[in-house]
Every structure is written in C-alpha cells, then in structure tokens.
Structure 1
Amino acid sequence: MEALDVVHISKEDQETVFAMLAAVLWLGNISFTVIDNENHVQAVENEGLLHVAELIGCDIEDLKLTLSTRKMKVGYDNIIQKLTQSQAIDARDALAKSIYACLFDWLVEQINKSLAVGKRRTGRSISILDIYGFESFNRNSFEQFCINYANERLQQHFNRHLFKLEQEEYIQDGIDWAKVEFEDNQDWLNLFEKRPLGLLSLLDEESTFPNGTDLTFANKLKQHLNSKSCFKGERNQAFTVCHYAGEVTYDTTGFLEKNRDLLHLDSIQLLSSCTCHLPQIFASHMLTQSEKPVVGPLHKSGGADSQKLSVATKFKGQLFQLMQRLESTTPHFIRCIKPNNLQSPESYEQGVVLQQLRCCGVLEVVRISRSGFPTRMSHQKFARRYGFLLFDNAASQDPLCDSVSILKNLIFCPRCIKLATQNYFSEQGRLVCLKILETVLFMASYVSKVALGVTKLVNLSRSFFQGGISTLQSCISFFNLFVHVIRGEKTRKAYAALLQRHRAAVTIQKQIKAVFVRNKTRHIRDATIVIQSVIRGWLVRRCSGDIGFSKYGDMKIFFFPKF
C-alpha cells in the first residue's frame, strides 16, 4: 500500500488492483460439471464464481455463459458452441492470465508516468539485464523451451562480442593472429528460428490447425528435424535439443494450448461490459492489439472471433527488440557461477564450477585474452596521452609516427606489441611503466600547480591585506573626523549651555542686588525714623520737662508728640 502511495496511485485504483488480483485467484477455484453425453460442461455456481462476478463487476449469468460456451460466426450466421471440460478450463485460465497480464502492464504504465513527472530525457542510461541460466528439469515444458531459446540468443550475443568481433578486429587491422576456435551456437539458433522448418515455425503452424494436438506436433518435429545434428526425436511426445550448455529433453504436452493462449471475443466482451473501470481498460487494450484471423475451416474470413499472435511469436519479437537494444550499447558481462548443486554455504564443487565455465564459454574468453591484445588504443589518443615523452624536435603531425617514436624510446618486447594502421595493441600489463611515468608526471604537475596556486594565493592574500589596511586607514581617518565633528558639536553645546547659565546668573544677581538695595534703603529709612523719634523725644523732654501726670497713682505717662 505504501509503495502504491509513493507512485501516486489513488486509493480507488489501489482497491481495484487488489480486486483484480483476488478475481484472478478466485478464477482458479471455478469448477465445471458435465451436462450431457457429449461431455459439454457448465460452470458450477459456487463461491468462486460468485466472488469473480462481484470483483470484476459483471453479471454472474454472463460469466457462466462465457466460460462454458463460445460464439462463432459461420458465413452470415452466429452459432453458439458448448465447450468440453478441457476447453472450458483453457478458457477460464486464458481469462485469468489475460487479466493478470493487462494488470501488470497497467501498473508498469502508471509507475512510468509517475516517475517521468518533471524529468527530462538525457539520452544517457545504464541498463542491467538479469536473466535465468539454461534450465533442465525432470520435466521440461513450454516455459523452459522459451527460456532456453532466449539464453541461446543471448549466448550468441556474448560470443559475437567476445569471440567474433574481437578476432575480426585483429584480422581487419592486419595483425598476425592465430584464430582461436570456439563453439558457436548459430546452428542451435537456426534450429529454433529457421523458416519454414524451425521449431518456432512448426509450433505456430501446428497451433493454427483446429485438429492439431501435441502428439501431431511432436511427430511433425521428428519428420522434419531428425536430420539435424542438434535435434533428437524421442518416444511419445518428447524431443531433445542439444543446446550450447547441454542436452534438454522437452515434453510437448500442453505446448499447443500454451502457445495459442486463446482469449476469445466472448471474454473480451465480458470484460468490456463490467462496471469496474479496469476491466474495461483491459478489454479496450486487447481489442487494439494487432491480431490475426484464426486459420481454419470455420474461420476463413476471420469472422467475429480472432486470436492474438501466438506466445512463441510474441516472445520472439520481444527478444529481437531486446537484442537490438543490446546491440546499440557497450556491453559488459558478469557471469554468476553456482558453487554447488545443493545450495549449501562454504561448499565448492570443482566439477560443477568447471562445467558451468565450459558451458558459458568463459574458458574460451580466457584463452583469447591470454593470447590476444586486450589493451588497445587509437594512435591519436596514444600520441596525445604519451606525447610528453618525446622531445619537441621529435614530435610530428602524424600520430602513427609519434606512437612508433614513443615505443622506440622504451624497452618493449616486439612480440607483445602490435601497431596497426589505426590502433595500437599490446598484451596485458605492457604499459605499466608508461602509466607509472604518467602518474609521476601527473603528480609533479599537480604539485607544481598546487605550489603555483599557493603562491598566487599568498600574493592575492597580500594584495587583499594591503587593500584591507588602506581601507582600515580610511575608516580610521573617517572615524577621527567623525570624532572631531562630535567633539566640536559637544563643545558648542557646552558653551551655549554655559553662556545660558552665565546670563541667568547675571540676571539673578541683578535681581538680588535690586532687592537688596530696596531692602537696605527701607531699613535705613526705618532706622532713621526711629533715631529721629528718639532724638526728638529727648529734645522735647529736655526742653519742656514733664507735660502731665496720670490720675492713677504714682505712674507717670509721658505723651510724646508725633513727628
């Protein structure tokens, strides 16, 4: 659930996806019962049938009819043919496989859409192809047949790049080369792909016959291919192919039905009538696929029914698309070796490993690498890379001459080095001294660059420091000017305050002096009046004597005249 959330698949689609998976599982539980003497069957209305109809959103009667009958068009008439037990099981399984395959394709499409949002194609990619090895079991069927065919084609790709193209390059460049023999599997590929008498062609031909069976297919193989060295006809319905990796015996039971993988028009119409949106998308996708008419007496004109390309044909087409993509890339191969057949740890069986090395062609690769020239380089690249070994007067405009001059200055075994018209070839490890010298010079150049960089950095730091000092001095001068301005302003403000205080003090002094003068004058006047009154009283008393007496006893009251 979390993974589907990450790729932005909605909750509704997630529920539908799980419903489709459940429907595929329940389809396997649908059983059939015989309804007449001709072995015709009808789907049993059990739990599996009910759940499938509910999950994909179709009518249960339509599902029963689709699984037990088949509509065909003969001329202008439509007939309904009842299916036998084996035909009904095949129709049921074909419906389940088609739903699962379409669901897988739909999920891949949704994931690719989600991952492609906001991304641009750069044209650069690394692809990793992980494949099965050759398969050989006690019973090998159609699946092992397809897997081993794919491995034969990929082994041919391996042989071509490591054996054929390698040796062809030596021959084209005019190098004296003793060709290394290896086991080519082209004959095995011809056995599979040759037309009209190849395994795949005969299988498709027999699959188109209405009366074709697995036994007739096995007999046809024996009839046409027994003369091939890599084919052996066996008893009953078996045949043996001598693959590149060893012999594998195939049982043809089920080959034709698996190759046809029929999904008739009735099943597609059933999916298109479902209420669930995913089966409708699947049905639309199936109808748009390239289909061919079924060849047979009842289907000469194609009719209403049709079948897809056979599984073998589709598999072959997809395999060729893969090979075209591989041919457009630079391949690198990793061979995985199984140490033992028991899959137990810390167990190394020499025979098992040696057999795998022989089957994979690794021994031939080692032989070619030891006797060949794995180190190669064009003369232009070689002269450009190691031209520093030449003096200026020895260098020329011809890369081949430069390559020869470089090699003459060093001690090399002529047998280990080959100079072609376009490329330089050498055995493994012959350019070690050149690489060491290149590394030393590179390190010396690196150290020189570092030292030069440090010197430039010091000079730059010095210039920066001097510029910083000048800037700092300018800042200090500006700061001093600013301080002087502040001090002058402060002095002016202090002087103004002092002047204001002086003026206030003068004013206060004047006011105090004025008050003092006024108070002093008043006191003097009052004192003068008192003195004058005393003197006048004394003068009066002296000159006039007593003026009168009081009637009250002996007390004398003097009345002084008012001045």
Structure 2
Amino acid sequence: MYKHSRVVQLAHGERSYHIFYQLCAGAPSALRDKLKLTGASEYNFLNQSNSLVIHNVDDAKKFHMLVKALNTAGISERDQEHAFQMVAAVLWLGNITFEAIGNGNNVEVVQCEAVINAASLMGCSANDLMLALSTREIQAGKDKVVKSLTMQQAIDTRDAMAKFIYANLFGWIVDKINRSLAMGKEKTGRSINILDIYGFESFEKNSFEQFCINYANERLQQHCYRHLFKLEQEEYELDGIDWTKVDFQDNQECLDLFEKKPIGIISLLDEESNFDKATDLAFANKLKQHLKANPCYKGDREEFGVRHYAGEVIYDTSDFLNKNRDTVHPDTIQLLSSSSEDLLKLFASSFANQSKKTATSIHIEISDFQKQTVATKFKDVLFKLMQQLESTAPHFICCIKPNNKQVPGMYNNDLVFEQLRSYSLLEVVRISRSGYPTRMTHQEFCIRYGVLLPEDHERKDPLSMSVSILRQFDILPEMYQVGYTKLYFRAGQISVLEDVRKQVLQGTLEVQKCYSGPHARRHFHELKGVVIILQSFVRGEIARRQYKDSLESKQKDANKENDEQLVAVLQIQSAIRCWLAQRHLNQLQKSKKLIQDRPKPAKKTTEVKNSSICFRINIFKNLVACCVKPVLAGLACRNFTFCCRRPRKAGFGG
C-alpha cells in the first residue's frame, strides 16, 4: 500500500519516490542515452517542490546501492533495464502538455520531445499515444464515436496512465522479490511479516489522499486496540482471574462513519461518483444531510470534518469525485496491450484478468471493472490485509513524530504528548504493568517445570502440580494468578523458575555424564576389539587376493616372454636353413664346375654322392654348435622341448 498520487503530485517540501531522483543522478551513460534521461529538475512530476536534493544524500550512490540490492534479490539485468525504462516513461509522460483547440473545450497534445520519448519507451507510436491522451472512444449503439477530451480530462488521463504504469511496476518488482526469497525453501506455513504503512496525516489542506490514508490508520488502530485491550481483557475475564478493567477509547463509531452502508462516507462518495454531472459541492451537502447525527462527523459548505482517534481533520471536497473516479480508461489499456514492450503487455493483461467476472469480451470486462471506484478498491484491499493480520500473532511498533517541521534535534512536547494520548499509549503502559504478559496452560506448565518437584508429586493432576511448584519456589501470590485453564504471570516472574530449571537440567547432565562416560568407554573398547578382528580378516583376504593376482600377472608375463623367444628361435632356424641352402647351392655349383674343368676320374657315381652328403652334414653340425645350441640351452632352463628338423637330402639336381 503506497500513495499513488505521489507519482504525479507533490506537496511543498516533499519529494516523489526516490527511484526517480536516483535514476536521473546515477544511471550510467549508456542507460541515460537509451532512456533519453536529463536532470531531475527537467521533469514536471519532480520539479513541483523545492526538494530535488536532500542534504547529505547522494542519489547517484544510492542508485548503485539499489542496483546491487536488485542483483542480490535475483532480479536479472534485463529485468532491471525494463524496470528503469518504465520509470523513465513515467517521467516523460509528465512532460506531455496540451493546448486548447476550437472553442477551448477540446484539446490536443503538443508535439514535443516528451511525446516522442514517452512513445519510444512505451513501445508504441507517437500518434497512438497522442490519441489515447486527447480522445476517448465511446460506444453509441452499434457505432463507436471518438470524443475529444477537455483540458482537465486530458491531464487526468495522462496522470492516470502514469500512475497505472508505476503501480503495476511496483507490484511486479515486489512479486519478483517474493519469488526469489521463496525459492528453494520448504513451505512450513510459518513466516515473519513486516507491515510498514504510512502514518496519520493532517495538513492545512487535506484532500482525497489524506482521506484514504487516515481511513487505513483508523482500521489498523482498531486492530491494535482489539489485541492490546479488548482480546487481552476478554481472556482474563473468561478464565476467571481477578482483573480490574482498563477503559480505552474505541474508534468503532469513526469506522462506521467511513464504512456503514448505505449512508457511510465511502458509500455516498461512490454513489455520487457514478453520476457524471455530480459536483463536489453536491457531495459535501449529501454528507451533511445523511451523517450529521454521527458524533464523529462535522459538516460545512465545501468541506467536512472527521473526529479521528488522532484528532479532528478537515477534508476539502474539491476534486474528491474526480480522484475517486481515477480509473484507467479502456483506451489506455488498449494502447498498452498493443505495445511492443512485454512488461506493458503484462500490466494490461493482468488488469484485464482482474476484471473477468461475468462478461466475455475484453471491452465489457474492463468497463465492469471500472465501476469499482478508488475508495471501494482501497477498502477491499484493506479488508484483505486485515484478514491476514487477524491470523497472526502481532507485535506493534508505534512511531512518534518529534516535530512537524521535519527538522532533526527539535522536540515538541505538546505534539509528542498529543500523540501519546491519541495512540492510547498511556493505557497500553497501564495494562502492561497490571497485566500478565506470560501465560501457560496447566498442562504446558507441568511438562516444562514438573522436573522441579519430588517424585511423590508426579501423580497429581496438572493444576495441583502447578500450584505445588509455585509454592515450593516461593512465588508471591500477587505475582501470578491461576485461571480455569491457564497460569498468568507478571513480567519477570517466570525467569525465577527458568533459572531453577536450568540448574536442575545442568545437574542432570552432570549425573548422566558420570554414568554414561564409563559405559561409553567400555562399549568403545569392545567395539574396538571387534573392529580390529574384522580388520585382520579383511586385510588377510585383501593380501591373498593381491598375491594371487600377482602370481597370475607374473605367469602371464612369463608366457608372453616364452612366446616371444619361441618366435625368435623359429626365425633363427628359418634364417639358418636359408643360409645353409644357399651355401650348399654355391658349393654344388663350384663342385660341378671343378668336375667339368678336370678330367673325369674313374670313380663311381655313388661315391661322389656320399662325399657330398658328408660334407653337408659337417657344415650343419658346425652351425648348430655355434648358433643354435646356446638358444636351446636357454629354452631348456624354462622347461621347453625343442626339436630341429633334419635338412632334406638333396642331390646335385636338388
């Protein structure tokens, strides 16, 4: 929940949202060129007040811190760039101006740099943007008529578009951060939530924005009253303890003034907002006519007063109706839907999905949804928030404003005391002092502190045991009360029992240590012996397997070496046989030549053959003695048997 109007309208001395100033001051040059950024003083949405710069605040440095935080939250650089693009589009929309045409009742957009830059950043044409801001398409029967807007209507349309883009951008970033935080975590149903909401506002001139803000504060204040006063005291009474009721200021009458139907302020405001010709003056008169009997209401001609819990506030009804009708026109949604920017398409589709109830066409859906005014939507969101808060165990932090001048070091006693009174903080202190902040059921108390009693008390019922514990440790009767279902203690009393319980548990641990130590050591030694035996078996088995694997490996290596030597022997045999055959051939050829050259002796053929055979046998024996026997001796030591073939008998023709 944030202040939508702050995007387009600023009070004196007030700044808009920090991101506008930080983006203008700290964006890198490449991003500045892409977004066509200039200084913050050049934008109409920012230069309405004299607070463009805050003392001792470096917006450029803050921008870099923001980018770092977005990176930490898991938002990608691409998504960050799209977000900054939407922020720049909002700034340029604020610089779009209008001029009257014709008789002055109609306007057209002034063509300027702002139109071109805004259209470029929004992903649409400049002409489409100008038409969406200066005209409105109306359904007249079966035909559609284009109507030019007045100056105020055009300005309201421009501002509504800017607020719509920024509001959806805000929700989109929050959703991104929530998804990032929830990633990888188991859903337990338990969470810690922080609600930070704007405080009560009262200025010289209070308008519709202050009306909504103060209404939200009234609702939250009642939630605070309910938990701090009403529910607290109701529990005391229902549980039958002695209690003096503390009176407090209930703001139900003020809430009825806002919410009651059909004559509450919001109902009457919505009723008037549905009439196109209704005026703010007529609205003020209607309030005075119907609400004058309510003690929290004070009526006047063009304003009305409400007596809030924090004091009376006078609201100026000027522009109340227009601001309550501050809704996005279907033409604007149509423009965003046709954009080339995915983010704007997402915003438009989300808006259309919210409006899907009974109608079927997009135009009818959006029109039906527009019937809900700003005040009604605000009330619905607030009720959903209150439903969530009711399911929690709340803790409240109240911020006290020291002065109205926003100056450090200044303390206004009257202002501070008035805030203490209006927030009923004095009553809160009173109920805290006399109340019982610590409470437990009898069963819970016995489970936690029953160990402090002797054994003979253990069979008693929880209530009797609880009383016995309190008496045994001399807890003063005025420091606690015994209810039907719970025990109630004043602040600090339960710490006495906690200290004793801590001592008992510490002593128990010492006793357990003395008993458990020897037992654990004995068990350790037994376990150690078993482990050693098991380790010996395992190590033996591992050693045997390793030895077996080693033998098999050596046998494989030996077989491989023998095979290699056998191949070598065969090769040597082959070479020797080849050499012998060649030498024998040469010898035969020489013998033949000698025989042919000399006279033939008178010997027989058989004698020549026998001589040749003997010669060959002698040569072979010599070769075997020199070359083959050493190899055979090496093989013999490896248990190998080797057989040499005798050379074939050959004659001279051989």
TM over 0.5: yes
Aligned to 1:265: 330
Aligned to 2:390: 327
Closer, same or farther in 2 for the Cα pair 1:145/1:391, shift >3 Å?
same
Which of 181, 187, 193 is equivalent to 2:259? 193
Structure-1 separation of matches of 2:163 and 2:99: 22
Matches within 5 A, 1:237-386: 237-290=302-355, 305=367, 307=370, 309-342=372-405, 349-386=412-449
Alpha-carbon shift at residue 197 of structure 1 (Å)? 1.0
Structure-2 separation of matches of 1:28 and 1:145: 25
Structure-2 separation of matches of 1:133 and 1:304: 33
Matches within 5 A, 1:147-546: 147-234=213-300, 236-290=301-355, 305=367, 307=370, 309-342=372-405, 349-456=412-519, 459=522
Alpha-carbon shift at residue 319 of structure 1 (Å)? 1.1
Bigger mean CA deviation after superposition, 180-189 or 368-377: 368-377
Structure-1 separation of matches of 2:364 and 2:529: 94
Report the 3-state secondary structure (helix = DSSP H, G, I; strand = E; otherwise coil) of the residue aligned with 2:201: coil
Alpha-carbon shift at residue 458 of structure 1 (Å)? 5.4
Aligned to 1:16: 82
Q: TM-score, length-normalised on structure 2?
A: 0.65
Aligned to 1:523: none
**2:173 maps to amino acid:** L
Report the 3-state secondary structure (helix = DSSP H, G, I; strand = E; otherwise coil) of the residue aligned with 2:447: helix
Structure-1 separation of matches of 2:245 and 2:427: 12
Matches within 5 A, 1:139-154: 139-154=205-220
Question: Is structure 2 residue 144 aligned with structure 1 residue 78?
Answer: yes
Report the 3-state secondary structure (helix = DSSP H, G, I; strand = E; otherwise coil) of the residue aligned with 2:458: coil
Which of 116, 119, 127 is equivalent to 1:50? 116
Structure-2 separation of matches of 1:428 and 1:262: 52
Residues 144-197 of structure 1: per-residue CA shift (max 9 Å, x gap): 211111111111111111111111111111223221111111111111111111
Closer, same or farther in 2 for the Cα pair 1:56/1:445, shift >3 Å?
same
**2:314 maps to amino acid:** T
Residues 371-424 of structure 1: per-residue CA shift (max 9 Å, x gap): 233332111122222323433333334211222333344545444432222111
Residues 240-261 of structure 1: per-residue CA shift (max 9 Å, x gap): 1111111112222222222111
Structure-1 separation of matches of 2:357 and 2:289: 28
Gaps of 5+ in 1: 294-300, 479-563
Alpha-carbon shift at residue 11 of structure 1 (Å)? 5.1
Question: Is structure 2 residue 152 aligned with structure 1 residue 89?
Answer: no
Bigger mean CA deviation after superposition, 371-380 or 446-455: 446-455
Closer, same or farther in 2 for the Cα pair 1:35/1:433, shift >3 Å?
closer
Bigger mean CA deviation after superposition, 87-96 or 334-343: 334-343
Structure-2 separation of matches of 1:8 and 1:86: 42
Alpha-carbon shift at residue 340 of structure 1 (Å)? 4.5
Structure-2 separation of matches of 1:382 and 1:338: 42
Contact 1:292 1:309 in 2 (8 A): no
**2:266 maps to amino acid:** L
Bigger mean CA deviation after superposition, 138-147 or 8-17: 8-17
Residues 319-354 of structure 1: per-residue CA shift (max 9 Å, x gap): 111111111111112223344445555655544433
Alpha-carbon shift at residue 464 of structure 1 (Å)? 7.7
**1:88 maps to amino acid:** A
Bigger mean CA deviation after superposition, 414-423 or 324-333: 414-423
Contact 2:116 2:126 in 1 (8 A): yes
**1:71 maps to amino acid:** E
Residues 429-459 of structure 1: per-residue CA shift (max 9 Å, x gap): 4445433322322332233334445545655
Residues 99-147 of structure 1: per-residue CA shift (max 9 Å, x gap): 2222223333344444444443222211011222211122222222111
**1:258 maps to amino acid:** K
Structure-2 separation of matches of 1:43 and 1:26: 14
Structure-1 separation of matches of 2:528 and 2:111: 94
Aligned to 1:125: 191
Q: TM-score, length-normalised on structure 1?
A: 0.75
Closer, same or farther in 2 for the Cα pair 1:451/1:228, shift >3 Å?
same
Bigger mean CA deviation after superposition, 254-263 or 114-123: 114-123
**1:138 maps to amino acid:** E
Gaps of 5+ in 2: 1-66, 541-654
Bigger mean CA deviation after superposition, 363-372 or 384-393: 384-393
Aligned to 1:511: none
**1:253 maps to amino acid:** S
% of aligned pairs identical?
Answer: 53
Report the 3-state secondary structure (helix = DSSP H, G, I; strand = E; otherwise coil) of the residue aligned with 1:418: strand
Report the 3-state secondary structure (helix = DSSP H, G, I; strand = E; otherwise coil) of the residue aligned with 2:223: helix
Structure-1 separation of matches of 2:99 and 2:364: 31
Structure-2 separation of matches of 1:124 and 1:132: 26
Closer, same or farther in 2 for the Cα pair 1:303/1:126, shift >3 Å?
closer
**2:267 maps to amino acid:** S
Contact 2:355 2:366 in 1 (8 A): no
Which of 94, 102, 124 is equivalent to 1:28? 94
Closer, same or farther in 2 for the Cα pair 1:389/1:109, shift >3 Å?
closer
User: Alignment length, in residue pairs?
Assistant: 471
Contact 1:290 1:308 in 2 (8 A): no
Question: Whose radius of gyration is greater, 1 or 2?
Answer: 1
Contact 1:58 1:275 in 2 (8 A): yes
Bigger mean CA deviation after superposition, 105-114 or 281-290: 105-114
Closer, same or farther in 2 for the Cα pair 1:453/1:358, shift >3 Å?
farther
Aligned to 1:502: none
Report the 3-state secondary structure (helix = DSSP H, G, I; strand = E; otherwise coil) of the residue aligned with 1:393: helix
Contact 2:257 2:265 in 1 (8 A): yes
Bigger mean CA deviation after superposition, 158-167 or 426-435: 426-435
Contact 2:355 2:365 in 1 (8 A): no
Structure-2 separation of matches of 1:375 and 1:381: 12
**1:396 maps to amino acid:** R
Contact 1:292 1:308 in 2 (8 A): no
Report the 3-state secondary structure (helix = DSSP H, G, I; strand = E; otherwise coil) of the residue aligned with 1:177: coil
Structure-1 separation of matches of 2:179 and 2:475: 57
